[in-house]
Structure 1
């Protein structure tokens, strides 16, 4: 239990920061809780931004994770439009862009990440154009939505989750959509060739022009608009609208400048504590030890942000809680619900369960008789079972996984009481 005079400050009001603030109160923190966000909005759901919200199928009001009343009930003070410029660890104080200073007893950093910028000669000029966009925030999507009208030519740079989700949303709105991917296949960094081929086929059937092995060399800018994308092979793609989704950079600058240990993310231990015992961190900006993999990693996922923030909150409140969750992710494209668990790196063979032609199947990544990861398409029960198979290291055979007549849950031992 903390003293009522103590102050906890959370920098960042995304999924991790918002969850951490409420969880901290629930864990017994008796003092003041300040939640600082650079955006004016209360914490909101980010996954729908490139999916349902971009497509116009959900209202803006549905994006808020919690209403203002929930923060009021927990006595969490939300300060929006606030930018922290410096963490003064020696004096346990934050310096804000407006000159204000705030003192803390415990601090949490949940600064997330920002889109990786396109590195071409005219990138800076393009970023000043109204029809060139990165997609990370609610405001980003508001600007993109204003320009997404039927018949317009949309060029998407990047064939990862964001790029493909935007493509699926845009094609349903009647835009002419082209996706440019630098690697030989879409989703190459996160899934097997069979899954890449499946998603490329589904997008092409929907009318999306998927082009792989394409390097963007530059952009044509005229009259304050991007008019064309120039590829390394000299080809030119005329366009009305450009969306770039080529990855995320962790926002670690504040932590690094404060002298905290940083290496592809803010380094935290299993308690979500940084190299300063008074400072914790959670979410996309962190690099944490993963017992399942036996190494450190940085994850960009909502489930990771939520679970890690709850661990941080418990330990900030003086409890002993450890983070040991299995990574999992999801992506919605058209009528396809892709859910993934585990990390497939180092897998030796891929096993398919079900027929991709039916749009309901699973792909399992095996190393020996251990399941490293699974991708499931429109198979929620397979996903639930796969989470336990991966987390508990349960031995399974290729034949068992491939046998679609036997429910996957039958391979699980009885749950421990």
Structure 2
């Protein structure tokens, strides 16, 4: 209470690596409505202090922002020095296969430092999330104990921002269209992202049911049509059940 907050973002929008522009714009509008000032395309040139305490941050544009606290979020890079010294293959992290084995099969790597060819997108990724790390840990344990499973977890992420519970499932890079379910002004909506007719991922704000159903759909390999999405959650559940029954029938044929 009685504190002003200024967000200084170096790139041209919020959440540039995390969500689609339509969601980032919504988040910005909601934050600004609560009095948060947001500066994009701007960075911090220096921080001023007195008597061991911060007193201001100076932006790259020369603006002085009085401050009692500065929270710095600059991202992370994988620590690969030990892996390099061990002769492991490195490419945006420690390269692993679908069983979490490195280029030296007796050595496994998991989590934020591990990069791999993702089963869902076909592209190389390095995911920084709790879900990814814990799922890979379980798979690595199975690999060590002699199992030959391949990594096939559906990636999902979440963040609480103000009055918004933001939940994401899938990887939406490369999408060329999207469908909206819900209402942005009501602060309850989901964005379904497609590449052609394939569902890539879902970004939800204050609609946790959509997120959980999306995890089931992507895990099953089910891509609903935009018309099915428009029918709402019950229509999606029925369509998913029909798809799963059809897949079971194919497997039993």
In 2: Cα distance, 1:405 partner to 1:272 partner:
36
Moved more, 245-254 or 220-229: 220-229
Counterparts in 2 of 1:61-100, with a 5 A limit?
A: none
In 2: Cα distance, 1:318 partner to 1:359 partner:
48
- TM-superposed CA distance for 1:186, in Å, is 0.8
In 1: Cα distance, 2:168 partner to 2:184 partner:
16
8 Å Cα contact 1:292/1:391 also seen in 2:
no
Equivalence for 2:187: 359
In 2: Cα distance, 1:362 partner to 1:378 partner:
8
Higher RCO structure (Cα 8 Å, ≥6 apart): 1
Q: Please state if 1:389 is matched with 2:237.
A: no
Equivalence for 1:314: 142
Equivalence for 2:23: 195
In 2: Cα distance, 1:176 partner to 1:341 partner:
33
Q: Please state if 1:259 is matched with 2:92.
A: no
8 Å Cα contact 1:354/1:402 also seen in 2:
no
Counterparts in 2 of 1:122-271, with a 5 A limit?
A: 151=2, 175-271=3-99
- TM-superposed CA distance for 1:409, in Å, is 1.6
Q: How many residues align?
A: 245
8 Å Cα contact 2:44/2:58 also seen in 1:
yes
Equivalence for 1:131: none
8 Å Cα contact 2:194/2:201 also seen in 1:
yes
Counterparts in 2 of 1:261-300, with a 5 A limit?
A: 261-300=89-128
In 1: Cα distance, 2:191 partner to 2:56 partner:
38
Moved more, 359-368 or 396-405: 396-405
8 Å Cα contact 2:92/2:126 also seen in 1:
yes
Equivalence for 1:324: 152
In 2: Cα distance, 1:286 partner to 1:395 partner:
28
- TM-superposed CA distance for 1:236, in Å, is 1.2
Q: Deviations over 1:186-214 (max 9, x none)?
A: 11222122111111122122332222222
Helix, strand or coil for the counterpart of 1:284?
A: helix
- TM-superposed CA distance for 1:393, in Å, is 3.7
TM-score by length of 2: 0.88
Q: Deviations over 1:260-316 (max 9, x none)?
A: 111111111111111222211111111122111112210001111111001111111
Unaligned segments of structure 1, at least 5 residues: 1-149, 152-174
In 2: Cα distance, 1:250 partner to 1:407 partner:
43
In 2: Cα distance, 1:406 partner to 1:367 partner:
24
Q: Deviations over 1:108-132 (max 9, x none)?
A: xxxxxxxxxxxxxxxxxxxxxxxxx
